[in-house]
Structure 1
Amino acid sequence: MDEHLGLRERKKARTRRAISEAAIALFLERGYDDVPVAEIAAAAEVSKRTLFAYFPTKDDLVLHRFADHEDEAARVVRDRAAGEPPLDALQRHLHDALDRHDPISGLCDVPQVVAFYRLVSDTPALRATLLRYQVRSVESLASALLTAAPQAPHPQLTARLAANQIQAVLRELADDNQQRIAAGTNAEDLAPVARAEADHAFTLLRAGLTPYATEPRATSP
């Protein structure tokens, strides 16, 4: 925990973590739909009112882990080194996440993380809410990209289109990694493949839609 936080902030952080951990444990044990909020509050030793002060909806008890990364790509673009292109900064950041086996990259075989991903993918209500987080991620990244390249043709449209493509790539890469982990692949064994696929994806982003702009040549039988 951040030692620079004051006592009040540390206490709030502990309470928030306790509520979240209690909720996730119960959801993984019995399923998202079968655990009432009152039971989560009791397990975390807080009132329902306190629980909702930290997590306004039941979905937030799970998806706040994604919300914590909601503007991560935008922060990478805003905080990049002078002269560094946004795509280079984002690719470097993804490399670092893969090297650390960060759960957000999907390249994490810790059983609790695998179970968490499965919980989200198997729960329609959570999948639906996750889309709203993803929309906000796109909006945040588009704003950062607009600032990074205000001289681009049709700057606002270009920033939105680019943000949608980048976030879709990051999401697809993470989902692919986690699906293979869930199927039994070891994270260390998958790491070189995941890194190569990330590099391929960013090559395609840099090229735009060039591969689909010309008629493909017929292949020899």
Structure 2
Amino acid sequence: MSEGLRERKKRQTKQRISDIATGLFLEHGFVTVTIAEIADAADVSVNTVYNYFPAKEDLFLDRGESVVDRLSGHVRGRREGESAADAVLRELRADVEAVSPTVGLFPGWADFMKVITEAHALRSRLWAIQQEVVDRLTRTLAEETGAAEGDPLPGLVAGQLAWVHSTLMAWIGDEMTKCRKPAEVSREALVLLDEMEDLLSEKVLNYAVRGAK
């Protein structure tokens, strides 16, 4: 179903407000900037800002839902004969090799992370998003494997795969704050992924293998 004019305008307005807010946060810090200042810069009312973003943190971490579902999406899209871990590792390697911004491989990542580390509210929201990633992935693995209620395996495997993702992101973030070139960090991140894969057990690596259709 194609996007209607009204929906497109709402999406564009939401994105514009978020982009303007992010620019202000990067320049002045998250705590200092007010919703009123964001509304004024975006030429909208304060109520309009809150209509699109219920909390101030949502203005900066506005892609939370896509982040929450990313690992689950990799699992749902795994190939025939591919396990959940294989799919996640394959997709992460592809992002790293492509020097993708989705894994923090861009020059502005250091500035982005600085805003988060300086604001308790953003750190708390980021932690909550990471927990949602594990919860969503646990449900996805349970659905994909038909696990019985109370089976601990989906949660255990989800925790391991989320650890790979969060560790990779944290390492890349640390390296990018040193003003290193994204391509250099990318090469070393691939080595880190190999090392983390070696730490995963065979049970994790062979969990939720997709059968032939």
Task: Determine the structure 1 residue equivalent to 2:210.
Answer: none
**What secondary structure sits across from 2:183 in the alignment?**
helix
Residues 127-159 of structure 1: CA deviation (Å, up to 9, x unaligned) = 01111111111111001111233369x863111
Larger radius of gyration: 1
Contact residue 16 and residue 54 of structure 1 kept, 8 A: yes
- Which residue is 2:107 aligned to? 110
CA contact (8 A) 2:176 2:182 kept: yes
Q: Which residue of structure 1 aligns with residue 129 of structure 2?
A: 133
Deviation at 1:95, TM superposition (A): 1.1
- Of 198, 203, 207, the match for 2:198: 203
TM normalised by structure 1 equals 0.84
Return the letter of the residue paired with 2:99.
H
Q: 1:48 aligns with which of 36, 46, 53?
A: 46
Q: Tell me, which stretches of 5 or more residues in structure 1 are unaligned? A: 210-221
1:7-22 mapped onto 2 (5 Å cutoff): 7-22=5-20
Larger relative contact order, structure 1 or 2 (CA cutoff 8 Å, min sep 6): 2
Unaligned runs of 5+ in 2: 205-213
The one-letter code matched in structure 1 to 2:73 is R
Q: How many percent of aligned residue pairs carry the same amino acid?
A: 32
RMSD: 2.0
* AA in 1 matched with 2:167: E
Measure, in 1, the Cα distance between the counterparts of 2:194 and 2:142: 24
Give the secondary-structure state (helix, strand or coil) at the position aligned to 2:47: helix
* Pairing partner for 2:116 from 103, 108, 120: 120
Q: Which piece of structure 1 moves more, 46-55 or 97-106?
A: 97-106
Deviation at 1:78, TM superposition (A): 1.2
Runs of 4+ in 1 over 6 A off after TM superposition: none
Asked if 2 retains the 8 angstrom alpha-carbon contact of 1:70 and 1:133, the reply is yes
CA distance in 2, matches of 1:121, 1:161: 29
The answer to whether the 8 A contact 1:149-1:155 is kept is: no
Aligned residue pair count: 203
How do 1:97-176 residues align onto structure 2 when only pairs under 5 Å count? 97-106=95-104, 108-111=105-108, 113-150=109-146, 156-176=151-171
Contact map agreement 1:86 1:148 (CA 8 A) in 2: no
Partner deviation per Cα, 1:18-73 (whole Å, 9 max, x = no partner): 11111111111111111110110111111111111111100111112343211110
